[in-house]
Amino acid sequence: MASRTSAGIGMTITVTIFIVLTMVFLFASVYLYSEMSNAEGRVRELTSSYEEIIKTGERGSSNVQVALEAARADGRKSLVDYLLTNNSELKRMSFGNAGLTIEQARTRADELASGGASLAATITRLEGEVQSLTAERDNAIAQMRRNEADLNAEFERIREIEQSALATAAEATDRVDDYARQVEDLRAQVDAFQGRTSREASNDRERYRADLRDRDQRIAELNQDILVLRDQVRRLRGETTDTRVTPLDEYALVDGEVAAIQSGDDVVVITLGREDKLVIGMTFSVFDTASAIRPTETGDYLPGKAVIEVISMEESSARCRIIRSSRGNPVVVGDVIANPVYDPDKVYNFVVFGNFDVDRDGVATPFERDQLVAIIERWGGEVIDDISGDLDFLVLGRRPEDPLQPAPNAPRVVYDEYLRLKNRVDRYQQLFEAASASSIPVLNENRLRTLIGELPR
């Protein structure tokens, strides 16, 4: 009984173990089947993914094997990582940007490559161009160095030329200094010559003016002689009439006498005074006798022995200072005095025309006529414009010069000036001829001033 119980218990345990094992196996099979199904799904997924990465038929390609070997050699990278890394490196090396897509890379490649050429061909072409440009650059550098050498040589030549030029300039400066000294010496000689020539020209000019004055004086004297001769001829022919009013001859123009001498003061007293219409400042020429006033054979009037000037007056006498006297021929009591412009009982009429040299500068002008008119009027004379029956003296200056005939196309003002100057020349001749025909005494400036004692200062 005990055996059977033990056997039953053993069987029961065995069956139980069997059942447990069966259940474990069953569950394990289910679990393994489920895992196998999952693994097969994953295998299919991995196979699909693998097919996307590399086809089964492509794995045996030599290019793939080479790429795999390269990937294993490069740190045991995967083929994809290796290819992606190389692709990025190629794009970076080719285009400078590893993140470009294949389309962007293709577009950039098309832009860089011409005529559909590959990048390698383009790179080869560009390398050739680079080599060509490099060769050209090297040639340019070589040429630049040659040019630099030539330039340095030229600079050296210019420096030598400059030094030579400086030496030449220094020599030229020395020569210029010598020339300057010679020029200064020559200028001094020229200045001396010019000064000498100027003095000689001035002397010649003065002599020429003196000759002109002498000739004008001689012409005036000859004109006076002609008048005198004509008057004498008329008198000899009996052509003059007693009814004709003629002025007194110059030799009859005695106005008074010297009444007293104050030798210490060079003052004389004359027989004319306030009642004779005397004027302070009036001058008289002093002559020995009345006959001394008569003109000489040449028709000239000799100056008096002295000239006196009225300085004070009484009713019938006046004190005069001697302003000029002749050496060896002093003024004495009884000498006669004369001023052809002065006459207490008569006002002499004068016509004054021509060019005069009152200021004695050697240049006779029509404007100095006014000064001579002022002298005549100061001594009581009257100046009229034309010859008339009551004219006493005609005072002619130098004859105006004949003007040059203007050109036919000259301006109107030139013709007007020519006519004005021509009329002056004609007027001078008409006055002279009218006075000659009327036997009116013609005086020049010197004769008038000599007679009145208005001598040049």
Which architecture characterizes domain 248-344 according to CATH?
Beta Barrel (2.40)
Residues 6+ apart with CB under 8 A from 411: none
Instruction: Give the C-alpha separation, 371 to 359, whole Å.
Output: 9
Handedness of CA 152, 155, 160, 163 (dihedral sign): negative
Identify the three-state secondary structure at position 334. Answer: coil
Q: What value does the CA radius of gyration of the chain take, rounded to a whole number of Å?
A: 74
The pLDDT of residue 272: 92
Instruction: State the burial class of residue 440 (Cβ atoms within 10 Å of its Cβ: 0-12, 13-18, 19+).
Output: buried
Mean pLDDT of 216-240: 56
**Residue 338's pLDDT band (boundaries 50, 70, 90)?**
confident
All residues at 6 or more sequence positions from 272 whose CB lies less than 8 Å from its CB, including other chains: 255, 256, 278, 316, 317, 318, 337, 344
- The tens digit of pLDDT for each residue in 23-47 reads 888 888 888 888 888 888 887 777 7
pLDDT number for residue 291: 78
231 pLDDT higher than 60 = no
Alpha carbons 354 and 368: distance in angstroms, whole number = 9
238: left (phi over 0), alpha (psi -120 to 50) or beta: left
Domain spans in the chain, listed from the N-terminal domain onward:
248-344
Q: 383 to each of 28, 347, 423, how far by Cα in Å?
A: 179, 10, 21
Q: Which residue has the higher pLDDT, 303 or 373?
A: 373
pLDDT in tens, 195-216: 777 787 777 777 766 776 676 5
Those residues whose C-beta lies under 8 Å from the C-beta of residue 125, and which sit 6 or more positions away, are 117
Task: Please report the pLDDT score of residue 269 as a whole number.
Answer: 94
d(CA 432, CA 438): 10
**pLDDT-derived band at 317, boundaries 50, 70, 90:** very high
pLDDT of residue 247: 40
Question: With 0-12 CB in 10 A as exposed, 13-18 as middle and 19+ as buried, what is 122?
Answer: middle
